[in-house]
Amino acid sequence: MRILVLIAIGLLLYIIISNLLRKNRSSPNVVTEKMVKCGHCGIHIPKKEAVHAGDDFYCSQAHLDDHRQVN
């Protein structure tokens, strides 16, 4: 009889933990955020934080300026 109680508790914990994990996984703007690559140094930054010129993205205004001077 005791083993049934343990199984029931284990099952309950499993359900609670898997619910928590699912909730964390579906939290917004962490996983779904689109990353872009800086055209100057190659670092990856979130698209909304990137500086963009035409089709190119840069991590900062300074790198956009540097890249324009090189070309």
Matching residue, tokens 């300026």: 65
How many degrees, rounded to 5, is the angle at CA 54 between CA 67 and CA 71? 25
What do you get for the CA distance between the two ends of the chain, in Å?
77
Of 33 and 49, the one with the shorter C-beta distance to Zn ion is 49
Sole binder of Zn ion in the list 36, 50, 57, 63 (CB under 5 A): 63
Applying CB under 5 A, which of residues 9, 11, 17, 41 lies at the interface with Zn ion?
Answer: 41
Q: Is 64 in the site for Zn ion (CB under 5 A)?
A: no
Q: Which two tokens stand for residue 64?
A: 């956009």
Told to check if 38 binds Zn ion by CB under 5 A, we report: yes
Which positions lie near Zn ion, rule CB under 5 A? 38, 40-41, 59, 63
